Structure 1
Amino acid sequence: MAPLLTPDAHAQAMSSMPRVLVDEAHQQAYSIDIEIAATMNPVAPADNSYAAAAAALRHRGFNVTARREGLITAQVLATADVFVLVHPSESVWEKTTGIGSPRLNADELSAIGEWVRAGGGLVVIAEHEQDKYGNNLNELLAQFGVTVVHTTVVDPISNHNGVAAWAKPQVTTPGEGITAGVHHTVVYRAGTLAFGADVNHRVILQSSPTAEPAGAPLAAVVNAGEGRVVVFADSDLFSDDSISDGDHARLFTNVIAWAAGSDAARSEASAAPARILPPAWHDLKSVVTELREKQNADGSLDTDIHDATAVTALVEQMIASIEQLAPLFPHDAAYLTELVVDLRRWVDSGFAVPDFLSSLMLFHPEENRRDGVEHLVVFPMYTQNGNLARVFEAVWIGTCWPDWIRQIEENGYANAAFAPITFIDFTAGYDTHSAVLFPETVATSSTPKFTWGGIFCDREAARFRKVTLQAAEILKLDLPADAELLLRDQRLAQETYVLWDLVHDRTHSRGDLPFDPFMIKQRMPYWLYALEELRCDLNTFVEMTAFEREGIPHATMVKYAILFDRLFRFPITGDRKRNYDGLGGQIIFAHLHRAEVVRWTNNTLLIDWDRLDACVGELAQRVNELYRE
């Protein structure tokens, strides 16, 4: 089976993910290039290679590059979200890259410190007997209150293959948070860590009670200013010959994701540049706001109350603004031309119940699914989960359709009616909970044939991030590092929602279908539609497992989004009555809780991430069987 994405499209999908820069210009004892490692150690290149670790990161979507020349400067660090320093050493002790000095100079130390405190993520992987290698990692780490202690942990009881120096440490919170999916590790001659009195740190690996020294920190994470620091006192556990031992690969990807997940770093990564819209738009928005306040709920306007001449002048101002803006939207020329006709037809009707079917039939955002394409949308319409009156709204929207999404849609996930859109600006009807733009919301003389549906992925993503972060804090849920990364990054969350909606929406017409063939359009009875929406989400969740195997980074994020939206946002937010999405969320919670995948104990929510996929898959199977039987 051909891959879903071409290499270029896969690279584009990865562009939303963090950039990881690995330093190899300070006589490191490892390289992420196996060929370079082979020149360092021809007999056993795996001993000096982090190629498998880099591959694990790339499979999860991270952009990993190596830096093999020059000094570390602010400009160098600006190209990365995470900077990785692995075991610099004098060549008398280790086979090294042979590039540069193992010691960072004063300017490099300062640049790294300032970058971290401003929001950067630093990963330092040191060694046992740290002082002998001729590097000054401890001078770097002193800025963050951490010291790698010159020692070697031995454990005669809890060790690997009977070697006391190959100790098996304890994972302090196995399976949770930064160690989600991590239960077993081995260190191969590790040092220990020490911390200053006021250092905001968390130990993630510690030596066992039978070790010497016992209960000593071997790996930890530190919050430093706006940034994050990860420190390990052993480098062998992530080398090619050891990364498959225990849960080392998962631990490595977890700590990189955590280091990349600071608020400052992700806010900067996903921030959109400021946009200045033309005066004609502000004129249009102003006049629409004035006009909609005069309309009745059905869109008509009472000329016994409002002066017809003044209202006609408002409509002409609308038309003038639309015509000024029209050249910015050449792909919508037919629609915008007919929109003017419909507006004047409404004036000629004496401001009766509006009928904008003619212009609506010429508006086709699904035919212009190119990333960044924009549309001017003006209709008398209600906004779903927002303003129920069919009054005028003006919305300037963009299209979120990166090439990697297009390729997925073309390679087996066809959804021709799907139009993922974003807000650029809008009138009051969209200053609500509404996150959709559907043709059936427009005031028309007859119901139009459904040919497209617009989903505002930016609003969906923003609400999801806000609610989930707050829910996790209230419920004391220790989020996996990559889930936290998703919740800190608006761009990543938006693209995640596009992929989710693409696969979810097509599922409505795939497989054994609902009991009532008219139910989807009516969304009634609400409990039955809850089951249908749940079916589509569960099958999307299962489908993402195949996407994960292809290394599509958003696949794991879609699974988090489905889980958290169903558990948190849908049941408790918004003002919908008979909330079918919330009911579906309660079904997921009940199923996971009964299987003890989700536990709500002592006001703390715990999730067994290792069993989650299988349990959700079981529920999907049961719902699909219910549809058939």
Structure 2
Amino acid sequence: MTEILVQAGAEGAVPSAEGRVVDHPAWPVLKDAVEEIRPWQSQDGSIDFGAEGAPAKDAAELAVGRVVAAVEQLAPLLPHDAAYHEALVADLRRWADGGFQVPDFLDSLLAFQPAAHREDGLQHLVVFPMYTQNGNPDRNLEAVVLRMVWPEWLAELERTRYDNPLFCGITFEDFTAGYDTNSAVLFPETIAVREAPERFSWGGIFCDREAARFRRVTEAAVDLLGLELPEDIRAMVGDQDRCQQAFVLWDMVHDRTHSHGDLPFDPFMIKQRQPFWMYGLEELRCDLTAFKEAVKLEGDGVRQGRDVQYAVLFDRMFRFPVTGERVRNYDGLGGQLLFAYLHKHDVVRWTDNKLTIDWERAPQVTNQLCKEIEDLYRAGIDRPKLVHWFAAYDLVSTYLAPHPGSRWAKGPDALDTSLPPRKLVDEVLPDEFPLSMFYEALSKKLKHVIASTKGITASSNAEKAAA
């Protein structure tokens, strides 16, 4: 493969190992080379040189050569990732030498071990062929520079209360086009490999994007709905750093909850086909568990505990239901359910075009919903799958009105229960629980704000606020 050297600056100086990757002259070279390669790739990450608009093979080799050279220039800044970058260069060269078939970056994936060095502020340069969840569905080459978020208070909570050795809180430094989207995660299962590892050893969530998105949508919703916030919560919504701390704690507890508690199933650990309300309840259970733990943490004097509670409430109630398409939108369903439950129990009221919240009762009633879901799970251990699905449907439909054309809403007699349960998933409507009139109106008012959060970072949110 052709080797291309990257100039280290006018005087040939290479920054010290303490320098920022994005300030090194090799970073824009790497980024530009990746952006050149991405449009050439097919959905599976390969390059079809016979396709219309495809490059000449030597042009692709030259572009990958620039990526390799840039990685080698940047690697001295990141000695903790030396094994990964060495394997990455080998994977890139093998991909090119093999004619740019479906990429296989298993070796470099196995060498990348960010959870083994959770040090606050530690930089990583990550390059993989991958899809980005809630972003780009194709396995294009992507490059992202990130920093670890691992303050001592969080590390202490992980050591003593919420063991989660694979979790990585991270923030963006810079990224290629696949992350100029709604994606806020870096997950190993998105990467192109010849075979899935026996187990994954890390998972990263960008708390800065989550916090910036939360702040922009919450501020707009609060203003639109006339909601009066307690002073400390208003201050939190206005503070990017506080929101990032809330989200990294929320994410850490949420992530571990998928494998804790009474679990008749875990849809994100075991591949199985289920109605989307089951996924919605699982995600909501994990969020409400984080909420419940946040109430305990607040009682124990952990300042971030109170912030997590309102991050969960506002993100779930204001952003989730009105974000994305309505087709099998399980996160939206969880947000609708939380709002409806709180409304049913007089914690939230929409009167005279103004939203009010009973701040004193909100923690108690939110924890009550968490218990109802936990009770559903515990009872589900003794139920056949289809019976459990109907019990979950009953819980959701107690608070949310099903679509009037739903066959599931009519009960078992309306379905051919002789079929395997997975076949009955086909009878679930794409929007089984449509938006209420409240959320239909809110969706129209917030759609431009929601759209503006695509690709958002802490710095871009600050720039918009300054403008």
Partner secondary structure for residue 293 of structure 1 = helix
Mind listing any 5+ residue stretches in structure 2 that lack a counterpart? 1-19, 380-467
Task: Give the letter aligned to residue 430 of structure 1.
Answer: Y
Alpha-carbon deviation of 1:544? Answer: 1.4
- Rounded to whole Å, the distance in 2 between the matches of 1:622 and 1:489 is 33
Give the aligned partner of residue 29 of structure 2.
283
Give the aligned partner of residue 378 of structure 1.
127
Contact 1:342 1:359 in 2 (8 A): yes
Contact 1:399 1:421 in 2 (8 A): yes
- Rounded to whole Å, the distance in 2 between the matches of 1:594 and 1:312 is 61
Give the aligned partner of residue 277 of structure 2.
527
- Rounded to whole Å, the distance in 2 between the matches of 1:616 and 1:445 is 44
- Rounded to whole Å, the distance in 2 between the matches of 1:453 and 1:390 is 18
Task: Give the letter aligned to residue 281 of structure 1.
Answer: W
Instruction: Work out the percentage of aligned pairs sharing the same amino acid.
Output: 54
Task: Name the CA shift for 1:275/1:477 in 2 (closer, same or farther; >3 Å).
Answer: farther
Give the aligned partner of residue 500 of structure 1.
250
- Rounded to whole Å, the distance in 1 between the matches of 2:271 and 2:211 is 26
- Rounded to whole Å, the distance in 2 between the matches of 1:506 and 1:327 is 34
- Rounded to whole Å, the distance in 2 between the matches of 1:300 and 1:499 is 38
- Rounded to whole Å, the distance in 1 between the matches of 2:326 and 2:133 is 10
Tell whether 2:362 aligns with 1:616: no
Instruction: Decide which of 577, 583, 597 is 2:333's aligned counterpart.
Output: 583
Task: Give the letter aligned to residue 617 of structure 1.
Answer: N
Mind listing any 5+ residue stretches in structure 1 that lack a counterpart? 1-273
Tell whether 2:51 aligns with 1:301: no
Give the aligned partner of residue 357 of structure 1.
106
User: CA offsets per residue over residues 574-598 of structure 1, 9 Å max, x none?
Assistant: 4574221111111111111011111
User: CA offsets per residue over residues 306-329 of structure 1, 9 Å max, x none?
Assistant: 211111111111111000000011
How high is the TM-score relative to the length of structure 2?
A: 0.74
Contact 2:21 2:74 in 1 (8 A): no
- Rounded to whole Å, the distance in 2 between the matches of 1:521 and 1:423 is 30
Contact 1:439 1:452 in 2 (8 A): yes
User: CA offsets per residue over residues 515-543 of structure 1, 9 Å max, x none?
Assistant: 33445554843210111111111122111
Matches of residues 417-428 of structure 1 in structure 2 within 5 Å?
417-428=166-177
Tell whether 2:230 aligns with 1:480: yes
Give the aligned partner of residue 435 of structure 1.
184
Alpha-carbon deviation of 1:276? Answer: 6.0
- Rounded to whole Å, the distance in 2 between the matches of 1:573 and 1:310 is 40
Alpha-carbon deviation of 1:345? Answer: 0.6
- Rounded to whole Å, the distance in 2 between the matches of 1:501 and 1:451 is 17
Contact 2:258 2:266 in 1 (8 A): no
Partner secondary structure for residue 40 of structure 2 = coil
Give the aligned partner of residue 162 of structure 2.
413
- Rounded to whole Å, the distance in 2 between the matches of 1:538 and 1:378 is 34
- Rounded to whole Å, the distance in 2 between the matches of 1:547 and 1:328 is 38
User: CA offsets per residue over residues 376-415 of structure 1, 9 Å max, x none?
Assistant: 0001111000011101000000011001100000002100
Task: Name the CA shift for 1:398/1:509 in 2 (closer, same or farther; >3 Å).
Answer: same
- Rounded to whole Å, the distance in 1 between the matches of 2:300 and 2:265 is 36
Tell whether 2:86 aligns with 1:340: no
User: CA offsets per residue over residues 52-85 of structure 1, 9 Å max, x none?
Assistant: xxxxxxxxxxxxxxxxxxxxxxxxxxxxxxxxxx
Alpha-carbon deviation of 1:335? Answer: 0.6
User: CA offsets per residue over residues 268-323 of structure 1, 9 Å max, x none?
Assistant: xxxxxx99611100100001000111111111011233211111111111111000
Contact 1:461 1:497 in 2 (8 A): yes
Instruction: Decide which of 195, 201, 206 is 1:451's aligned counterpart.
Output: 201
- Rounded to whole Å, the distance in 2 between the matches of 1:574 and 1:368 is 35
Alpha-carbon deviation of 1:548? Answer: 1.0
Task: Name the CA shift for 1:520/1:566 in 2 (closer, same or farther; >3 Å).
Answer: farther
Contact 2:288 2:366 in 1 (8 A): yes
Instruction: Decide which of 234, 259, 265 is 1:516's aligned counterpart.
Output: 265
Matches of residues 54-65 of structure 1 in structure 2 within 5 Å?
none
Task: Give the letter aligned to residue 250 of structure 2.
Answer: W
Give the structure with higher Rg (CA).
Answer: 1
Partner secondary structure for residue 183 of structure 2 = coil
Alpha-carbon deviation of 1:573? Answer: 2.1
User: CA offsets per residue over residues 558-579 of structure 1, 9 Å max, x none?
Assistant: 0000000110111112457422
Alpha-carbon deviation of 1:339? Answer: 0.5
Give the aligned partner of residue 395 of structure 1.
144
- Rounded to whole Å, the distance in 2 between the matches of 1:480 and 1:522 is 43
- Rounded to whole Å, the distance in 2 between the matches of 1:505 and 1:518 is 13
Task: Name the CA shift for 1:549/1:595 in 2 (closer, same or farther; >3 Å).
Answer: same
Contact 2:22 2:145 in 1 (8 A): no
Task: Give the letter aligned to residue 320 of structure 1.
Answer: A
Task: Name the CA shift for 1:532/1:398 in 2 (closer, same or farther; >3 Å).
Answer: same
User: CA offsets per residue over residues 460-508 of structure 1, 9 Å max, x none?
Assistant: 0000011011011111111111111111111110011011111111111
Partner secondary structure for residue 609 of structure 1 = coil
Tell whether 2:357 aligns with 1:607: yes
Matches of residues 34-183 of structure 1 in structure 2 within 5 Å?
none
- Rounded to whole Å, the distance in 1 between the matches of 2:229 and 2:185 is 29
Task: Give the letter aligned to residue 31 of structure 2.
Answer: K
- Rounded to whole Å, the distance in 1 between the matches of 2:31 and 2:371 is 49
- Rounded to whole Å, the distance in 2 between the matches of 1:389 and 1:352 is 15
User: CA offsets per residue over residues 254-278 of structure 1, 9 Å max, x none?
Assistant: xxxxxxxxxxxxxxxxxxxx99611
Task: Give the letter aligned to residue 300 of structure 1.
Answer: S
Contact 1:433 1:574 in 2 (8 A): no
Alpha-carbon deviation of 1:554? Answer: 0.7
Instruction: Decide which of 351, 357, 375 is 1:625's aligned counterpart.
Output: 375
- Rounded to whole Å, the distance in 2 between the matches of 1:358 and 1:576 is 38
- Rounded to whole Å, the distance in 2 between the matches of 1:543 and 1:495 is 15
User: CA offsets per residue over residues 161-196 of structure 1, 9 Å max, x none?
Assistant: xxxxxxxxxxxxxxxxxxxxxxxxxxxxxxxxxxxx
Task: Give the letter aligned to residue 398 of structure 1.
Answer: R
Alpha-carbon deviation of 1:602? Answer: 2.0
Give the aligned partner of residue 38 of structure 2.
292
Contact 1:519 1:525 in 2 (8 A): no
Normalized per residue, the structure richer in helix is 2
- Rounded to whole Å, the distance in 2 between the matches of 1:492 and 1:541 is 16
Task: Give the letter aligned to residue 484 of structure 1.
Answer: R
- Rounded to whole Å, the distance in 2 between the matches of 1:286 and 1:576 is 36
Root-mean-square deviation (Å): 1.6
Task: Give the letter aligned to residue 414 of structure 1.
Answer: D
Contact 1:295 1:302 in 2 (8 A): yes
Give the aligned partner of residue 449 of structure 2.
none
Partner secondary structure for residue 533 of structure 1 = helix
User: CA offsets per residue over residues 422-479 of structure 1, 9 Å max, x none?
Assistant: 0000000000000000001111111232221100000000000110110111111111
Task: Give the letter aligned to residue 608 of structure 1.
Answer: D
Task: Name the CA shift for 1:299/1:275 in 2 (closer, same or farther; >3 Å).
Answer: closer
Contact 2:320 2:332 in 1 (8 A): yes
